[in-house]
Structure 1
Amino acid sequence: MGCIHSKSRRNIPGYEEPSILASETAFTVSEVEALFQLFKKISSSIIDDGLIHKEEFQLALFRNKDRRNLFADRIFDLFDFKRNGVIEFGEFVRSLSVFHPNAPVADKISFAYRLYDLRRTGFIEREELREMVLALLHESDLILSEDVVEVIVDKTFSEADTKGDGRIDQDEWKEFVSKNPSLIKNMTLPYLTFGVSKFRSYELLRLSGVKPDIYEA
């Protein structure tokens, strides 16, 4: 039975052994095994092909495959290392590892930086910051006036753009985050340290934005 189970896993595109992924990430083998169960559910929610498509990712986050959001699109793009439009199991685990409590702070800062670098220029420009602020406000169901949004952007740039060249580079971003650690507070999910049974609990699924009733064994 174990051989059949192992063989069926190997038939999943991009599947990697938990022991390998655990050696390269902040997860333990049992945590990777638990993530595999979550991955299977998400990747089969619309198209049962062992891959997470953007619509399935949207469904997991918002319970609505048609709800589009720049923030969700950026997260999906960063999870999709190969940039082939889908997320494989290995990509899923390696990406989530950044959110593990034991993951290096430097990795969290780098991930957040890339999140804001919408055009992948290696810099965060004013318009990119503005777009992400609007997306995050939308995701939080907060409505602020254009004037208030501009104040937020102006204040951020006045503090972060120490070189005054109209863009934030990686060194400036690291310095800015060191003074404002709350910026990466959401880069740590304490639930990722729970064991297998806990991973399948309602709380983790709720935190992941996934509809709990479709994940019950």
Structure 2
Amino acid sequence: MGQDISQIDSNEIQKMLQKFGKLDEDNSGALSAKEFMQIPELTSNPLVERVIDIFDSDGNGEVDFTEFIRGMNSFASKGDTQYKLRFAFNIYDIGKNKL
């Protein structure tokens, strides 16, 4: 999920940094699955594990701040439409086969 984050407003980045800091309980600089699941919009989502998998673009099992920004921007109203569609598709593409 390689969205260009240079187009994101600096105020939005500040808000996301604050949110990320609150979620990063162990101050590791990355969110574990447990920390990630503290996001209110995702706690009751049955596909939360797929969302984490998509946010975690490097596949290391954690979501760092850059991955967090890219992923959260897919929910923003100003985000790139093509990126949002690809993100939504990838949530349901469990086999990662693009079908």
Fold match (TM-score > 0.5): yes
Alignment correspondent of 2:38: 59
CA apart distance, 1:93 = 0.5
Alignment correspondent of 1:111: 87
Return the index of the structure with the highest Cα Rg: 1
CA distance in 2, matches of 1:109, 1:59: 25
SS at match of 1:121: coil
CA apart distance, 1:59 = 2.7
Query: Sequence identity of aligned pairs in percent?
Result: 28
Per-residue displacement from partner, 1:66-113 (whole Å, max 9, x unpaired)? Answer: x8x650000000100101000000110011112221222221111111
CA distance in 1, matches of 2:27, 2:90: 30
Q: Which amino acid aligns with 1:94?
A: R
Alignment correspondent of 2:11: 30
Distance 1:94 1:38, change over 3 A: same
CA distance in 1, matches of 2:82, 2:38: 30
The answer to whether the aligner puts 1:71 opposite 2:50 as a matched pair is no
Matches within 5 A, 1:35-46: 35-44=16-25
CA distance in 2, matches of 1:117, 1:58: 21
CA distance in 2, matches of 1:94, 1:59: 18
SS at match of 2:96: coil
CA distance in 2, matches of 1:59, 1:30: 22
The answer to whether the aligner puts 1:94 opposite 2:75 as a matched pair is no
Q: Which amino acid aligns with 2:29?
A: G
CA distance in 2, matches of 1:122, 1:111: 12
Q: Which has the higher contact order (CA 8 A, sep 6+)?
A: 2
Give the gaps of 5 or more residues in structure 2: none
Backbone CA RMSD of aligned residues: 2.0
Matches within 5 A, 1:2-41: 21=5, 23=6, 25=7, 27-41=8-22
Q: Which amino acid aligns with 1:84?
A: N
